[in-house]
Amino acid sequence: MHGLGRWIAASASGFGACLVLFSLSGSLWLSAVLLVPVGFFMMLGMAASNTLIQAMVPDRLRGRVMAVYSMMFMGMAPLGALTAGALATPIGAPATVALGGAACIVGGLVFGAHLPSLRGPARKLIATQQMTAGAPPDEALRSDP
C-alpha cells in the first residue's frame, strides 16, 4: 500500500490533464489516442482508492462500505452527466469537457496537498486491520497510503 495516496492524487490530475488535451483535439485519431491515457488514469485511480478503502475497513464492515462506495460512484455519474449536458448547451461540449478536466486537476492537487494530514489516520486504520489479520505490528505500521 506504500504510495497509493500519491497514485490517487497523480491519477486524478493525469486524468484531468488528458481530458483537457482531449477537449482541445480536432482530430479523430488524436482524440482516440488521448482516450487511452484517460482510461488508464481512471482505472489507476479507481484501483488505488478501492485498495485503500478495503485495507482500512474492518472485515465485518467491508461489504457495507464497498456498497456505499459503489452506490456513490455509480449514483453520482448520472448527476454529473446531467450537469455536463446542461453546461454543454451554453458553452459547448469541448469547453465542458475541458472544465471537467480542470476540476479533476484541481481535485487531484487539493487531495495531494491534504495527503500528509490524512496519512497518520490512514496508517492507523491499515495497521489495525493488518494486526487483526495476523501481520506483525511493526510491519503494519510501515504501510504508506
The tens digit of pLDDT for each residue in 48-107 reads 998 888 888 888 888 899 999 888 888 888 998 999 999 999 999 999 999 999 999 999
Q: Which one-letter DSSP state was computed for residue 15?
A: H
Looking at residue 111, its amino acid is F
| 22-45 pLDDT, tens digit each | 999 999 999 999 999 999 999 999
The larger pLDDT score, comparing residue 107 to residue 125, is at 107
The larger pLDDT score, comparing residue 111 to residue 59, is at 111
Cα–Cα nearest to 99, from 22, 8, 10, 1: 22
Contact indicator for 48, 4 with CB cutoff of 8 Å? yes
- With a cut of 60, say whether residue 144 has pLDDT above it: no
Give dist(CA 13, CA 102) in Å, integer: 8
Contact indicator for 141, 119 with CB cutoff of 8 Å? no
User: Among 59-63, 119-123, 138-142, which range has the highest average pLDDT?
Assistant: 59-63
| 2-20 pLDDT, tens digit each | 788 899 999 999 999 999 9
> What is the structure's pLDDT at 134?
47
* Phi, psi (rounded to 5 degrees) for 23: -65, -25
Give dist(CA 51, CA 138) in Å, integer: 21
Residue 108, C-alpha cell as written in the block: 487531484
How do the domains of the chain map onto residue ranges? 4-140
Contact indicator for 126, 55 with CB cutoff of 8 Å? yes
Residue 31, C-alpha cell as written in the block: 482524440
Q: Which one-letter DSSP state was computed for residue 59?
A: G
